[in-house]
Amino acid sequence: MHDNSTQDARGPHGPVRQSRDPLEELRRLLIGDERRKLDEVLQSLEDPRAVAKRISHVLPDAIRMRGLHDESLSKALTPTVQDILRDTVKKNPRPLIDVLSPVIGSAIRRAVAEALRRMVQSLNQILEHSFSFKSLKWRFQAMRSGRPFSEIALLHSLIFTVEQVFLIHRHSGLLLLHVSAETAVDKNPDTVSAMLTAVQDFINDSFNQSSDSGLASVRVGELTLIIEPGPRAVIAAVVRGIAPPDLRDVLRQTVDDVHHDLDRELLAFTGDTAPFAAALPALQACLQSRYRQAKARPSPVLVAVAAMLLLAAGFWSYGRWRDSRHMQHYLASLAGQPGIVVTGVRKQNGKYVVSGLRDPLAADPAGLLAAAELTPEKVKGSWQPVCMLTDEFVLQRAKKALKPPPGISLRLRKGLLTARGPAPHAWIAQARKTALLVPGVTAYHDQAVTDDTRTRLRQLSAAIEQARIRFAVGSTRPESGQEAALKRLSEKIARLRRLSAQIGGEVTITVIGHADDSGPRELNRKLRLQRAAAVRNALVRQGIADAILASPAAENLSGGAAYEGGQSPSVTFDVQFRGRSQQH
């Protein structure tokens, strides 16, 4: 017999352990190492610390590579970062304030200081040249050219000023950012950028210049365009006056700063200019100005006296100019109001008198004074009433005269007044009489108007004719529970009679009794008469006039399918109109 138990055999390196199962031993020899490695991999994947350690080695490179590929990573992280900032501000905003206050505070202080500096500099230039022969010459020049004196004084005292600065993408020629001084007259920045790029390309092509060379400056009248190129962006500054040599150094440094701070955005530019708003402070720093220093100053006493006189004249002139401007605004608002025609304006006892024609339906001219910053003490109106025949006022008069119900809409075109919608019969008749009496209405059409009274008459008639008062077999009294049906029927008949009277008609309701075939013919005929009489008497007790309730003709009671047996024991009704109501 063979023993399958494990035995020790002698090998070259000592005893070798033999497995009980040769197949298992063969599996261990063939895939033992791979299985051990697979177990180690599975164990490492299940260990969070090991997974985090491996991810930490590749996470920075993965984030950088994904950011270069597209913006999906930033879009995915944006909500999380926003939530973190929002929670931080809610819980403890102090750290965020400490971080942002140096940047925001510095920017605010710089902007306020720059605005004050420009205002004081402009005021100094005006005051220095306000009381001299030169200033009189400048005032004459201002009057002749129609430009403000302050602008003429600044131009004569100006050495140079940078009015506009453009940041242009070098390869596409698209405008990335544009800043301008407060006194500059801006044209279309995109157009200027496109034309500059076109001229630059034209010169390079015409003179076989490389893309690294080109225009350095362009002189156009009083303006000089200084161009400072960079590897991926170009800065162009519009200068009025004679620019100093160090201005180009400022522009060159700005180009370098923009490329240093926004190199990645310039490299990946596809048309979105939003990222380049970060370069706004750098471009604003290029808006520099320099003025000539005054050589001599007038006497302080003379300056004070002249300033007082000028101030008094200024207040007087300003008052007149303000009143004139307010009055022009008021007249313009009157001219824009339909139904008002201004025929004249005059001054009387220090007050403006405005005369003209006014439709009573037009806006009140006194109500327009407040919008023009005027008061009734300054403006008086003298208006003659007049009837304007424009469609707007004719339609208003028509609505006021006709008083249309809510369902009616009125339209006017070239004197034709058209009504549309449902309306009571009385209003329809009255509108036909009144419409042509309205000034400006030459014709009136109401074919699109539906008589609401007749419509309700037809609906009530149909409801009454569908009503049925039921009786037991062989009985002449209504069944139990029919009292409510009789009450509702009497209310409908009362409304029917009122509506019929509104259109000048009369209504007659025939009460018809019915019987089945269970008895003799003569007995059924009597039952029909007695049932009709019972219902008629019940309606009279409910307040219905006896005159409008009729019984079938005698010949109909003795024959005719409608009055014969074969029907359930009941009473029905037939509604008839007489008079004008029969027309519809």
Q: Does domain 467-583 have CATH number 3.40.50.460?
A: no
State the pLDDT at residue 293: 61
The string of DSSP letters for 538-558 reads HHHHTT--GGGEE---HHHHT
Which residues are CB-neighbours of 75 under 8 A, at least 6 positions away? none
Residue among 296, 259, 297, 298 nearest 276 (CA): 259
Distance between CA 77 and CA 63 in Å, rounded? 11
What are the Cα distances from residue 335, in Å, to 42, 175, 362, 364, 368?
87, 44, 12, 13, 11
State the pLDDT at residue 11: 44
Interval 222-257: pLDDT, tens: 788 888 888 888 898 888 877 777 888 888 899 899
State the pLDDT at residue 582: 41
Query: What does pTM read for this prediction?
Result: 0.35
State the pLDDT at residue 6: 43
Distance between CA 217 and CA 236 in Å, rounded? 9
The answer to whether residues 368 and 330 touch, using CB atoms and an 8 Å cutoff, is yes
Q: Which token pair is 7? A: 């035995």
The answer to whether residues 427 and 404 touch, using CB atoms and an 8 Å cutoff, is yes
The string of DSSP letters for 23-60 reads HHHHHHHHHHHHHHHHHHHHHHHH-HHHHHHHHHHHHH
Q: Please report which helix (H) or strand (E) contains residue 134, including its range.
A: helix 133-145
| Residue linked to tokens 């007259």 | 185
Domain with CATH 3.30.450.70 in the chain: 148-291
Distance between CA 97 and CA 403 in Å, rounded? 66
Distance between CA 86 and CA 349 in Å, rounded? 66
Side chain identity, residue 422? P
Residue among 280, 167, 276 nearest 228 (CA): 167
Architecture of the domain delimited by 148-291: 2-Layer Sandwich (3.30)
State the pLDDT at residue 584: 37
The answer to whether residues 162 and 181 touch, using CB atoms and an 8 Å cutoff, is yes
Q: Does domain 391-453 have CATH number 3.30.1340.30?
A: yes
Low-confidence ranges of the chain (pLDDT < 50): 1-19, 103, 120, 555-565, 581-584
Alpha helices in 70-93 (DSSP H): 72-91
Distance between CA 440 and CA 115 in Å, rounded? 61
State the pLDDT at residue 426: 82
State the pLDDT at residue 157: 60
State the pLDDT at residue 572: 92
Beta strands 14-17 and 8-11, pairing class: antiparallel
State the pLDDT at residue 511: 92
Distance between CA 400 and CA 405 in Å, rounded? 12
Q: Does domain 320-385 have CATH number 3.30.300?
A: yes
Domain with CATH 3.30.1330.60 in the chain: 467-583
- 246-255 in b/e form (b: 16+ CB < 10 A) is ebbebbeebb
